[in-house]
Structures are given as structure tokens and as C-alpha cells.
Amino acid sequence: MAQPDERTNYLNWSHTVKSWLLTTDHKRIAILYMVSITVMFALGGLAAAVIRMALVVPQDTLIRHETYNKMFSMHGVIMVFLFLVPSIPAVLGNFLLPLMVGARDLAFPRLNLLSWYLYIIGGLCVVGAMLAGGVDTGWTFYTPYSSIYSNSHVTLTIVGVFIAGFSSIATGINFIVTTHKMRAPGLTWFRLPLFVWSLYATSIIFVLGTPVVAITLALVVAERVVHLGVFDPALGGDPILFQHLFWFYSHPAVYIMVLPSMGVVSELVPCFSRKRAFGYPFIAFSSLAIAVLGFLVWGHHMFVSGQAVWTGMVFSFLSFLIAVPSAIKVFNWTATMYKGRIWFTAPMLYALGFIGLFTVGGLTGLFLAALTVDVHVHDTYFVIAHFHYIMVGGAIMGYMGGIHFWWPKMTGRLYPEGWAKLAAGITFIGFNLTFFPQFLLGLQGMPRRYHWYPPEWQSLNVLSSAGASILAVGYAIPLTYLIWSLWYGAKAGKNPWGAVGLEWTTTSPPPTHNFPRTPVVTWEAYDYRDEEPPTEEEREPVSVPAGGER
């Protein structure tokens, strides 16, 4: 087998800083994003560590309450806007979409580079605001606190989130156009990998939702700076209007965070069960259904805001509906595994972790969607546990699974599988130990965002903090061996998992233009007919000269 690193590929054709900072290659931009979001994850994680340390004792001995408020705000803002939202789309999506559809790049390569710069500028504003003294509004920026009373760095933080929002919009437009226009000959919509469907659905939310939050946040700044009067009742405004506008984006945004992970899991499960994906069209359309329904349920965040009870009931009902497409996915993954020859690789362990933990998150979402239950547990640790089960247990597990699955493709190197399995196990245990006690705390009435609590809640809080330290170890191990593998890892062939999908037909790491010739697709998605992984020759695509078709 020809060793990939003997030829030029997207990584080694030039090593200059300029060739990286001015690249329009989707694969290099994906790497730039991967490095930047990892830094953000570390910053957000640091804030989480301070929060959990402070909560070990019922009274604050470690930090003052202003600092505590700033820590959870910084944690939320960074994790949501600068880590989870861009994570899978901007890293794995950027890298894989053109490879998966058999194209040379995204439709608008320079827009792609611009999106990274916007992300960096936005990120610098947010980090700058943190360094200048921080923000204390929570990631939700609720008015009138954010618009009138807070004397922290609300404006700079919002400017950062606003700018980073445009990077999401640019990515969304790029993905939508690429999926429509750049598919290789023979790659019909229903032959697309399910990951592409999930990116497509996510992109719809990017394009339709992000402008709303951008405008809303811009209005908060206008209100702070020139006292516009949109949210301030004294000036004829309405503070509840902010909540409507904010959640109109931010509920769909939770699906920005989890849909791409679902897409990753839809790739991993068939590959490591050596079976065709069960119910392909259902998985594909449930992504679109989630994208559409996601825009109709925002009021479930506002059950106790004083909105009419009838309105609450409608939102409650609609929120139950959105669980249906999520459940369809879980059902189909399970059915795909049924009677499959399951191969317990590290990526598959993460995928299994995703399925279990996402299900817990989704089911507790239904508790919260029940109007009468939510009145009791709104703004308690129950809500915190719910969304961490989905965003950490789900979205981040999916991201880790995807990184482990495609790492050999992205870098041309293999990582030590034993360490990877160990890390997946530690993550799973640490995660549950951190967040399961929070369900119990929430049910006992512990409110979120408080740093003082009665002593009877201490043991559960200590458990949670202990779990967080284990979780941190679970994330530190992959960081170490993945970096290690860049120099010392065994060389990866084209297709170490015997997976189907166009990205596995090119060398690892891929050449700058992805495929020597434009591939022609003659097979259906997830064509895992044999129990044994197929050989490389069997998966070699039929080829026509590059550019010959379009």
C-alpha cells in the first residue's frame, strides 16, 4: 500500500504560517477551527472547575459571589456560543462535507475562511470582556438586568457573540449551497450520508435562527447605550419581549448543538454494526422535522414568565411533539444495531454513550415540557442536569466519537485504541457522577445560579464535584494521545474501519483537492453487505476524469 505521507497532501504541501492563515482549503480551515474551539473548551472548562470547586462547600470560602456569577456566565457563553455551536459543523462538517459529497471544496471557500476570522474576532471580544472583568448576566442575557442594571462587561461580550453569529451564518450558507450544488455524479439525495442530512438541517437553523438572536442582542446593546426603550417598561418597552426573541433562537440553537452529533452517530452505528442504517429516510427526515419543529417550542422556557396559561399549554403540547423525531432516531439506531456484528471500537463506545445519555436528556426534557412539572423545577438543578445530559452526554460524546472515527482520515495517524477506550469509559462514568446528582438536587429544590446552599445538599454537591474531576481526566487523556499520535501514531491507511462513504476512498490525509478524479457514485449509502469489513479494492470508486462532469 502506498504510504500517504510520501505524497503531498493537504497538511504537508506547505508549512508556512501564511499558507495556514490565508488558506481556503476546507480541510485546513477545519483544523484551524479545531484548534480554536479546543482552546475555548479549555477556557469554558476552567470556569466550570471553579464553579464546582466553589460548590463543594455550602458557603463561599473560595470566591466571592460576584466572581461566582461571572464564572457561570463565562462558562455558559463560551461553551454555548464558542464551543458547542461551532464544534461539529465547523470542524467535522467543514472537513467532511466536501469529501462526503465528492467535491473539491465547499461552494464558497473564501467565505469559509471569513467565517473562521469572524469566529476568532468574536472569540477575542468575549475573552477580552472576561479579562477586563467579566460579565455576570448568565449566557441568557435576560433584560432588564442586562440592559439596565448589570455593571459588568455586557456590551463587549454581546458584540463578541454578535460577530461570532455571522460566522455561523456563513457556515450555514456554505453548507446548504454545497449540498445542493456540488454532489458528485450519481450521489442522489437519498444516497447522501446521514451526517450530511444533519448538517443540512443544522444549516437551516443557522441561517434562519442566528439573525434573530443577533438582532435581539444588538437591541440589548442599543438599550444599554442609548436607552432605546425596546425592553425597558419605563420607556414603553417590554422585558418579556427579550425572552421571546432570545428563545426563538436559543431553543433551535440547542438543536444546532445536538443535530450534528446525531449525524455522527448515524455514521458510526452502521459502520460498527456492519449493517445498513435501518430506516434511512426516517433518520434523514427526522433531522428536518427537528429543524422545523424546533422553531415552534420556544415558549417552554417561559412557562413561569407570566405568559397566558393557554399559551403555556400550546407550547407544552408542541414540545411533546418534538420528542417524536428524536425518538425516531433512537429507535432507528437501536434497530440498526439489532443482530448486527457490533465492533466495540472507541468511536462506537462514544456513540453508545451518546444514545444512552441523550435518551435520558430527552426524556427529562419531556418532564420539563409538562407545564405543571416545570412550574416546580424551573430554574433548578433539574434543568441544569437535563441540558447537560444532552449537551455534554450527547453533543460532546458525539463530537468525541466523530473525532476518533475520522482522526485517521484527518491526520493520517492512528491513536492507541486501548487508551481511547479507557478515556471513553472514564468520560462516561465521570459524566454521570457529575450530573445525575444534579437531578436529585433539582427535585429537592436547589436553584441554579446560587453559590450558597443549605448544608443538607452538600453530599450530592460533593459527588457532583468529584465526578467533574473524573470527567476532566476523561477529556485530558484524549487530548494527550491525539497530540502524541501526530508524531508517534502508526500510519493510517485509506480506510482503517472498512467504512463505506466517499471520504474513505481517498488517501489519509487527503490531497489538497480531495480526489484525483471526480468520483461517480453507484452504490447506496451504508452498503455494509458483508459481516466482514470490505477490502480497500472492493470500495475503490468508479472514476471519471476530474472536472469532466461539471
Name the site residues for Cu ion (rule: CB under 5 A): 251
Cell of 242: 427579550
Residue 267's binding partner among ligand HEM, Cu ion, none (Cβ under 5 to 8 angstroms by kind) is none
Residue 259 binds: one of Cu ion, ligand HEM, none (C-beta under 5 to 8 A by kind)? none
Residue least distant from Cu ion (Cβ): 251
Closer residue to ligand HEM in complex, CB, 288/366: 366
First and final C-alpha spacing in the chain:
31
Burial of 538 (0-12, 13-18, 19+ CB in 10 A): exposed
Cα(34)–Cα(335) distance, integer angstroms: 33
DSSP structure string for 516-535: SS-EE--S-TT---SSSPPP
Indicate which of Cu ion, ligand HEM, none lies near residue 4 (CB less than 5 to 8 Å, by partner kind): none
Q: How far is the CB of 91 from ligand HEM (least distance, A)?
A: 17
Nearest of 212, 210, 11 to residue 119 by alpha carbon? 210
Which CB atom, from 368 or from 426, has the smaller least distance to ligand HEM?
368
Half-sphere exposure at residue 28, Cβ-oriented, CA atoms within 13 angstroms = 24
With CB atoms as reference, the residue minimizing the distance to ligand HEM is 365
CB of 415 to ligand HEM, least distance (A): 27
CB of 298 to Cu ion, least distance (A): 6
User: Considering beta carbons, is residue 365 or 541 the nearer one to ligand HEM?
Assistant: 365
- Measured between alpha carbons, how far is 215 from 224 in angstroms, rounded to an integer? 14
The answer for 525, left when phi > 0, alpha when psi is -120 to 50, beta otherwise, is beta
| DSSP labels, 58-77 | SS-SSS-HHHHHHHHHHHHH
Least distance (Å) from ligand HEM to the CB of residue 150? 17
Residue 209 interacts with which of ligand HEM, Cu ion, none, CB < 5 to 8 Å by class: none
CB within 8 A of 372, min separation 6: which ones?
A: none
Nearer to ligand HEM, 350 or 497 (CB): 350
Instruction: Give whichever of 231 and 381 is closer to ligand HEM, judged by the CB atom.
Output: 381
- The nearest distance, CB 395 to Cu ion, in angstroms, is 14
Please report how close the Cβ of residue 541 comes to ligand HEM at its closest, in angstroms.
Answer: 35
Total residue length of the chain: 550
Judged by beta carbon distances under 5 to 8 A according to partner kind, the member of Cu ion, ligand HEM, none in contact with residue 119 is none
CB burial class (10 A; 0-12, 13-18, 19+) of residue 462? middle
User: Helix count (H) and strand count (E) of the chain?
Assistant: 17, 2
Measured between alpha carbons, how far is 123 from 251 in angstroms, rounded to an integer? 22
Smallest separation, CB 290 to Cu ion (Å): 12
Q: Which does 378 bind (CB under 5 to 8 A by kind): Cu ion, ligand HEM, none?
A: ligand HEM
From the CB of 369, what's the least distance to ligand HEM, in Å?
Answer: 4
* Partner touching 453 among Cu ion, ligand HEM, none, CB below 5 to 8 Å by kind: none
Instruction: Give me the residues that bind ligand HEM (CB under 6 A), please.
Output: 140, 254-255, 257-258, 300-301, 319, 322-323, 326, 362, 365-366, 368-369, 374, 378, 383, 386-387, 390-391, 395
The least distance separating ligand HEM from the CB of residue 462, rounded to whole angstroms, comes to 24
Angle formed at CA 461 by CA 455 and CA 467, multiple of 5 degrees: 160
Would you say 370 or 546 has its CB closer to ligand HEM? Answer: 370
When the beta carbons of 27 and 251 are compared against Cu ion, the nearer one is 251
| Residues 6+ away with beta carbon under 8 Å from 292 | none
Compare residues 88 and 369 and give the one whose CB is closer to ligand HEM.
369
Partner whose footprint covers residue 31, from Cu ion, ligand HEM, none (CB < 5 to 8 Å by kind): none
Nearer Cβ to ligand HEM, position 267 or 374? 374
Could you tell me the three cell numbers for 183?
454532489
Q: Which of 213, 78, 183, 203 is nearest to 525 (CA)?
A: 183
Is the Cβ of residue 127 or residue 254 nearer to ligand HEM in the bound state? 254
Question: In angstroms, what is the minimal distance from the CB of 362 to ligand HEM?
Answer: 4
Residue 131's contacts (CB-CB under 8 Å, 6 or more residues apart) are: none
Q: Which amino acid is at 334?
A: T
Q: Alpha-carbon distance 390 to 255, whole Å? A: 10
